[in-house]
Structure 1
Amino acid sequence: MNAAMESDPTQPFRVDAVDYEPALDALRAVRETVFVEEQQVPLELEWDELDPRCVHVLARALDGTPIGTGRLTPEHKIGRMAVLREWRGKGVGDAMLLALIEQARRRGWREVSLHAQASAIDFYLRHGFAPYGERFEEAGIEHQSMRRTISGPTAIDDRDAAIRTVVDILGAARRHAWLYTRDLDPGLFDAPPVIEALRRFGTAGRGNELRVLLQDAGTPQRGHSPFLALAQRLPSVFAFREVEDPVDRAYPSAYLANDLGGYYFRTLGHRFDGEADLHAPGRARQLRGAFMAVWERARPVSEYRALGI
């Protein structure tokens, strides 16, 4: 196997799909540290007969030290997700999960599921997993069953789904995202969960940048958009331009895309309904290309800078 996953050259680690036997010592170094020593899972429950039959991913620091593991079982389940304590919060878990989803996609699987520890539910929600069933105990730890469809885009039908989708796409971004919007979409980009996702994106400390193209820059300013208030505090992260070309101003759609292949596209930009996919690199690149063509001929929003942005 030993297939390298697409990795961000700015990250201090890499994620690979690995063969079980050759990688066993590295897998053991992470899983037994996290599950057996830290979480007190009995050793006999940590390793099972499925392990040799699973697809395993291994995260390593650039010096080769194993720092994270995850597996994909023949039953289409993701599990044994573990990251060493000192590497948590640095994107290792996100990269491993996306690598496992990509392995499932290559096999033509339509869905994957997992048992999330209660403390990790929000992490999986950000990556498009939905909970189902009641919570339960496994190895003495509270868990929630979750699943995610991975074959093609998902229809977004209402504001709540739109908010969840924007939060997911921002949460999954490595460093860059691009937003094309009429006027920062009241009801969406002023929703508290979205503002919090923008704040996390802006304070992640990875040199993140969100570029925003507006058709109407005046309405958010007059409405005292909380997005603009956040951008005022983080001027190096959020950049705004307004389209001027009549053709650009007549463009009816809106979209958000990130640098890990996630996108949310609305055919009519004044509505919430549209389609989204957290892993569609081709479509995300297409949207980014269209965005940058317009960005180059748009004007910087100097009136935002006058406010300190």
Structure 2
Amino acid sequence: MIVRKAGVADVAALAELRGIEPENFPAYADWVAAHAETHLPFVAEIDGYVVGVAWLLVAERVPGNNALDRRYGDVQAVEVREAYRNRGIGGALVAAILDEARTRNLLHVSVHSGRRAVDFYLRNGFSHHRQLLLWEPA
């Protein structure tokens, strides 16, 4: 298995893993290109076949006196093809994202997980945080 940053040539595989319908592919490809600086996709390949993807959103908080660079990350859309699950692919993708976060000196990396994946993220170095608050429209 190889885990690497995805490139332009991977957009079709990214769309397929995300379940993007063919009629929406051009808009999806445009979105990926337009967000290349802030939404970084990583793919896992086996024998040249993309079997999983994970995205790292890199965003910035407002600077303060003691910290002008307040970039952080958020894990988004981790997906592994069903036939390839439970082989460590998701963990390898998350490890690649966290390596990128270290390289970029991000303050922290968050993830908004579905209930089924909470244990996965806990096993891969994430923890619950008491200060995270969430507002959702009614």
Relative to the length of structure 1, the TM-score reads 0.33
CA RMSD in angstroms, aligned pairs only: 2.6
State the match for 1:84 in structure 2.
81
After superposition, what is the alpha-carbon deviation per residue over 1:190-216, rounded to whole angstroms, capped at 9, x for unaligned?
xxxxxxxxxxxxxxxxxxxxxxxxxxx
Distance 1:87 1:51, change over 3 A: farther
CA contact (8 A) 1:18 1:56 kept: yes
CA contact (8 A) 1:68 1:82 kept: yes
- Of residues 68, 74, 85, the one that matches 2:52 is 68
Take 1:106 and 1:58, find their aligned partners in 2: how far apart are those partners? 18
After superposition, what is the alpha-carbon deviation per residue over 1:138-176, rounded to whole angstroms, capped at 9, x for unaligned?
xxxxxxxxxxxxxxxxxxxxxxxxxxxxxxxxxxxxxxx
Q: Which runs of 5+ in 2 are unaligned?
A: 60-72
TM superposition shift of 1:99: 0.4
TM superposition shift of 1:52: 2.9
Give matches, 1:106-117, under 5 Å. 106-117=103-114
State the match for 1:234 in structure 2.
none
Structure number with bigger Rg: 1
Q: Which has the higher contact order (CA 8 A, sep 6+)?
A: 2
Identity %: 27
TM superposition shift of 1:18: 2.0
Take 2:35 and 2:117, find their aligned partners in 1: how far apart are those partners? 22
Q: Which runs of 5+ in 1 are unaligned?
A: 1-12, 38-42, 138-309
TM superposition shift of 1:108: 1.1
State the match for 2:115 in structure 1.
118
State the match for 1:130 in structure 2.
127
Relative to the length of structure 2, the TM-score reads 0.70
After superposition, what is the alpha-carbon deviation per residue over 1:30-89, rounded to whole angstroms, capped at 9, x for unaligned?
221xxx69xxxxx79xx5577433221011112x11110011112211111000000000
Take 2:135 and 2:90, find their aligned partners in 1: how far apart are those partners? 23
Amino acid at match of 1:115: H
Runs of 4+ more than 2 Å apart: 47-53, 131-137
Amino acid at match of 2:15: R
State the match for 1:25 in structure 2.
12
Take 2:18 and 2:135, find their aligned partners in 1: how far apart are those partners? 22
Amino acid at match of 1:55: L
Take 2:83 and 2:11, find their aligned partners in 1: how far apart are those partners? 21
Match of 2:41, SS state, is: strand
